[in-house]
Chain A
Amino acid sequence: MPPDGSAEKHAPVAVVFARPSLSCLIELVLRHLGVRTAATASATRARELVLSLHPALLVTDIGRGPSARRLLEKGSARATLALIDLDGGASSTTAFRGGAGDVMRVPFTPDELAVRAAQLLRRYGVTTSLVRNVAVQGVELSLDEYAHVGSRTIALSAPQNSLLYLLVANAGRRIAPADVRELCWGVEHTAGGPEVEGAIAGLERSLAPSDVLRIERVKGGVVARMAPA
């Protein structure tokens, strides 16, 4: 998400170290705070970005191993948010003890990330303005679990809203069903294939008849296609 306006030049910067589907989701949610982002799935590149951009916020997925944990180590004034996946054996306690300023489990809801990131930045003296809605190519996403498409307001369940954010954030990219499941379902980790497909179909029905977002089933996952703005 490159900066393109004068106001954005002064916006706080966040570096995101996570796998691509998760990074895209985080970058989209951080738009609610007006935060510019640089994302990578490479530990080496993450260190380079931290050194060159001096970000106000570092979001790092602990599941990426020791290199992710090293990024959290003390000695930095920046705000650090560690993402943990309990299914992957990570723990909030370990992340806090490792120096994280705040911890959030994956999956998370968009509003949880936005509110936590805003609060964490405030602790470090960085003020942001949290905007509830952001527009992406004809879809207005909301932290409050609805979407605007054209003149319609569509109420969404929490998993549907998370799913919509994930799909829009990764528009044009294939997302594996496991990623959909891991990134959208709360602590109800027993949700399996039928539930995921049911949620996708439910979201399609909610958005119909608009063609603003089309969800294609492809080999190994789904791809969201957004209509040109």
Chain B
Amino acid sequence: MAARDASNQSPAISSPRILLVIGKALANLVTVTLRHSNYDTKDVTSEGEVRRAVSEWQPDIALIDIDEHGDLFDALGGGMAKGKIPILAFTRKRDTAVKLRAFENGADDIVEVPFTLDEVVARPFALIRRSRGVTTPIVPKIRLGGQIEVDLIEQTVKLAGGKALELTPIQQTLLYLLAANAGEVLTREALLASIWGTAFQIESNVVDRHIRELRVKLGDDWRTPRYIETVPGRGYRFKADANGETALAADN
């Protein structure tokens, strides 16, 4: 299973297993983002499932949303300090004590929401290297919706035909989140919680503003959208492709 990664001298593994203990919309975003590294993911949210997955599926690392599923922390084993799988904790809380407690409880690293996509790929990479001494190959480019090509390393997003879009990190995250949940309506509240955390009020127009800006950069017309539909009174939906599939395809 081990192979050499040309970028450095650590042995590489082809398909590390990542256990996600995260709510659905965010888990979908993380799963799509992790396609940049050929991870195999499993999504669980109950204690029984977590314990079973840890013992039987034997993940290389666990990602947990400690705001939503902090009670499942112990089921993951306690992190590298206890000789168990590394734990990467996600939190939206700005309280220093929360982060310190997470490390004391066994988290090996923390990702704060809002996060950048780059971090979601880089931190598991670093934790697996620390815990197992191996590296995971990075897949810089993937496609979203069949038309949008994203290069994680170069931080570029291109439309089919080669036009580069100047997306800010948060616009890129928003695009991934919508595409990761293609065909499903995401409410403003879900988008806020997944990207910005609880620092913004629900009444805030931050979501609408970023959707508007993202559409402009995608060249998407809200009246006849190619990518992002407005669902009146509910939220936004990334259009599934003509076959009703999610239209997500790795480009490697």
A interface vs B, CB < 8 Å?
A: 86, 89, 91-97, 102-103, 105, 109, 111-112, 114-115, 119, 130, 132, 143-145, 158, 186-190
Contact = CB atoms under 8 A, between A and B. Distances in A.
Given A91-B122, A94-B153, A86 B103 contact: no
A119 B119 CA distance: 17
B95 interface: yes
Contact of B155 (A89, A132, A188, A189): A89
Contacts of A103: 119, 122, 126
A102 B108 CA distance: 11
A138 to B, nearest CB: 23
B126 A96 contact: yes
Interface residues of B, number: 35
B216 interface: no
B94 to A, nearest CB: 6
Contacts of B94: 109, 111, 145, 158
Contacts of A132: 96
Contact of A93 (B100, B112, B118): B118
A187 B115 CA distance: 8
Interface of B: 7-8, 94-97, 99-100, 103, 109-110, 112, 114-116, 118-119, 121-123, 125-126, 129, 135, 138, 152-155, 168-170, 173, 199, 213
Contacts of A189: 168-170
A115 B98 CA distance: 11
A187 B170 contact: yes
Contacts of B97: 144
Contact of A143 (B96, B135, B152): B96
Nearest to B114: A187
A91 B95 CA distance: 26
B122 A96 contact: yes
Contact of B169 (A109, A119, A187): A187
A62 B104 CA distance: 29
Contacts of B118: 86, 91-93
Contacts of B109: 102
A148 B173 CA distance: 36
Nearest to A120: B109
